[in-house]
Amino acid sequence: MIFEVRIDDLSGPDVAALIAEHLAGMTGASPPGTVHALAVEGLRRPEVTFWSVWKGDQLCGCGALKALNSRSGEIKSMRTRTAFLRQGVGQAVLEEIIRTARERGYASLFLETGTGESFAAAHSLYLRYGFEWCDPFADYEATDFNVFMEKRFSPV
């Protein structure tokens, strides 16, 4: 299936609804105080690049890359709409995030995500793309409800 992955300014109602769905999903899958997903305002910050994934005029998913510093970034807000699960949406946006991280010269790309069955597909996707389990990064703290992954890039 062919998807269009494009940088998005988060101004469309479909995108806002998807972010709200993402936040609700994360809040429903993790205890209070353990959710680190960004709301629309956080995704509009200058250090964040946000992509939406489309099939024609249908919004299929999204993902973001947050610059942590000049050498590393963090994946944020990866979400696939239910109707498009297991069709390559996550793969399409993850490939764009990885390509952008390499273009920026990052040495590492990190992510924090949840634990449990509802996160198993995401863990599997990241592992297939060369991410490895790692210790907490930035200001995160380890809990029973989150895990951390890192993909390291070879110097060019």
Q: Which residue is associated with the tokens 């991280």?
A: 101
How far is the C-alpha of 151 from the C-alpha of 126, rounded, in Å?
A: 9
Q: Tokens for 36, please give them.
A: 């680190």
For residue 125, the enclosing domain spans 4-152
Instruction: Let me know: does 113 contact 99? Beta carbons within 8 Å.
Output: no
Number of domains in the chain: 1
Per-residue confidence in pLDDT tens, the chain, 156 aa: 699 999 999 999 999 999 998 888 877 667 777 778 888 899 999 999 999 999 999 999 999 999 999 999 999 999 999 999 999 999 999 999 999 999 999 999 999 998 888 889 999 999 999 999 999 999 999 999 899 999 999 876
Displacement of CA 152 from its chain's centroid (Å): 16
CATH number at residue 145: 3.40.630.30
Q: Is 72 exposed, middle or buried (0-12, 13-18, 19+ CB in 10 A)?
A: buried
